[in-house]
Amino acid sequence: MTEENKLKYVSNWYLFIPFFGLVFPDILSFFGILNGRDAVTYYGDIHKNHTNKILHMTLLPFAAYGYALGVPALFKLSYDDAALIRNWFYITFIIHYYSINAGITAIFAIIYFFPLYFSHIHYKPTFRIALEGIGIGTSLMIVMEYIGHTLFEIDNSRPEGVLNAILYSHFFITEEWVRLIYMPGAFTN
């Protein structure tokens, strides 16, 4: 693919992202998937313990880095294609989260810029990078699930809530950071 065609290809995808971000709730609703504020509340129902929240707030951005680094490498995507997909998810989340709360979305964009940025810097389409990235993400998720939910929560994570967690955990923990910083009394539940 020539540089001119590649630029056109990438530009067309980036033009599509805002549209997808705007219709994302409708797509989720069509498939019967909880979305928006209701989905954030659903996720929060099993994340009430202070220690579990702190674990998620601290580790989830690093897990996002691991998956953003490792999953594209697993499929041996070129640097440009991996960057396109990572950016596509990031921008889609920003546009979708904006419909829930613009202020929280702005903070989400700042917090998750760094995992995105470092996944771009460290990316190589190799099996070693795939293992490292997925290993980071998975090990941190196991720590959050085992320590956070087994030791500190009454309820464990729900298997049917996995997609919900993938889509809304980042918004939830960003909201919890805001609560911790600006309303410490409201954070402890």
CB neighbours (10 Å) of residue 97? Answer: 25
The predicted structure's pLDDT at residue 113: 97
**Token pair recorded at residue 9:** 């290809």
| Domain region containing 117 | 3-187
SS3 103: helix
Question: Are 40 and 174 in contact, with CB atoms under 8 Å apart?
Answer: no
Question: Are 34 and 164 in contact, with CB atoms under 8 Å apart?
Answer: yes
SS3 188: coil
- Is the alpha carbon torsion for 64, 65, 71, 72 positive or negative? positive
The predicted structure's pLDDT at residue 163: 81
> For the chain, what is the domain count?
1
Q: What is the 3-state secondary structure (H, E, C) of 113-167?
A: HHHHHHHHHHCCCCHHHHHHHHHHHHHHHHHHHHHHHHHHCCCCCCHHHHHHHHH
Q: Write out residues in the chain with pLDDT < 70, as ranges.
A: 1-17, 155-160, 184-189
120: burial class by Cβ within 10 Å (0-12, 13-18, 19+)? middle
pTM: 0.85
The predicted structure's pLDDT at residue 43: 87
| Rounded CA separation 53/89 (Å) | 24
Quick one: which of 113, 93, 89 has its CA closest to 172?
93
Quick: pLDDT tens for 4-55: 555 555 556 666 667 777 787 888 888 888 888 998 998 888 888 889 999 9
